[in-house]
Structure 1
Amino acid sequence: MKKILVLIAGVIAASGAFASEEGAKLYAEKTCVACHGKDGKKTLTPQYPKIAGQNAAYAEQQMKDIKSGARANGQAAAMKGVMHLVSDAEIKILAEHLASMK
């Protein structure tokens, strides 16, 4: 039983590391870094939000709302042009990545 728990813990840790690596890759590829900064803390302009450490569920919903047009306030227009290039699966990975950024 102990070996199974250790194996499960290893799989979970490995999947987390993969998701983080994939999230970092998407963050750069989808040009998030251009406005939100490499670390998610140093934004292009003061109007853009600092997103490092953001709650994953919140970030995911905001990105989906911007993509669908349900959110059109604030700086949403700046992201609208990019979000059509991001799939829902990628949004989830990005949201988890944002939450992991400290």
Structure 2
Amino acid sequence: MKKWLMSISIMVLGSIAQATDVGHPEQEAKADLEAGKAKAAVCGGCHGMDGNSAIPNYPSLAGQHPNYLEKQLKEFKENKRQDPMMVGQAQTLSDQDIINVSAYFAQQELAPGVAKPEAIALGEKIFRGGNPVTGVTACAACHGPVGMGNRPAKFPRISGQKAAYTIKALKDFRAGKRKNDINSMMQGVSANMTDPEIEAVAEYSAGLAKE
């Protein structure tokens, strides 16, 4: 148990230290929110104009860390993260557009989510304690006790996120379809997660509220 906890600490601290791009306050200060809102109009069909998606498989962007959104858009643009629709959309954006759009969505209020009651017990167990038997790290170790993430390390906010999207993301990491996670952390964590664990933790995190 002690070795398992120590490995979690080393992995988390190492990833924070090795995150090569830990946010750009100077860029965020230059963000044009009105320009971001205008450019985000094309995003609204899938993610909602205020960043609250009405489509379960598409993530809500409201309240997400701007530097995390910048990272994802840049990696779609550079084909480091694969999705036919998002790659095409991102390639139309300039670097300044990405800063503006990310800042705009980060400023929006995320609508509260709801967890399925039957998933809460297992979801909370995995979220807070992981599964030491199979080597699954607790989600809270990186994403925080209420899922608000870690902005300097670019660990995203997952509280309130659509459960269906989180399920897809975890299964894509597990299957190796998505590989743009820092130090392959999410690929490693999801590799040992069962479908019931993935579904339960996705539901649980969807119902978490901001501190």
For normalisation by structure 1, the TM-score amounts to 0.75
Distance 1:17 1:49, change over 3 A: same
The answer for unaligned runs of 5 or more in structure 1 is: 1-15
The answer (yes or no) to whether the contact 2:181–2:187 under 8 Å persists in 1 is: no
For 1:48, the equivalent position in structure 2 comes to 155
TM-aligned CA deviation for residue 58 of structure 1: 0.3
Letter in 2 for 1:29: G
- Counting helix residues as a fraction of each chain, which structure ranks higher? 1
Q: Answer with 1 or 2: which has the greater Rg.
A: 2
Which of 27, 45, 54 is the matching residue for 2:127? 27
TM-aligned CA deviation for residue 42 of structure 1: 4.3
* C-alpha distance in structure 1 between counterparts of 2:153 and 2:173, whole Å: 20
Structure 2 residue 203 is the aligned partner of structure 1 residue 96: yes
Letter in 1 for 2:145: K
For 2:186, the equivalent position in structure 1 comes to 79
The answer (yes or no) to whether the contact 1:36–1:51 under 8 Å persists in 2 is: yes
Report the count of equivalent residues.
87
For residues 42-82 of structure 1, give each alpha carbon's deviation from its aligned partner in whole angstroms, at most 9, with x where no partner exists: 42744110100000000000000001110011437111111
**RMSD over equivalenced CA pairs, Å:** 1.8
Which of 54, 68, 88 is the matching residue for 2:175? 68
TM-aligned CA deviation for residue 29 of structure 1: 2.5
The answer (yes or no) to whether the contact 2:122–2:197 under 8 Å persists in 1 is: no
The answer for unaligned runs of 5 or more in structure 2 is: 1-115, 131-137
Aligned-residue identity in percent? 34
Q: Secondary structure at the match of 2:157?
A: coil
TM-aligned CA deviation for residue 28 of structure 1: 1.7
Worse overlay, 70-79 or 46-55: 70-79
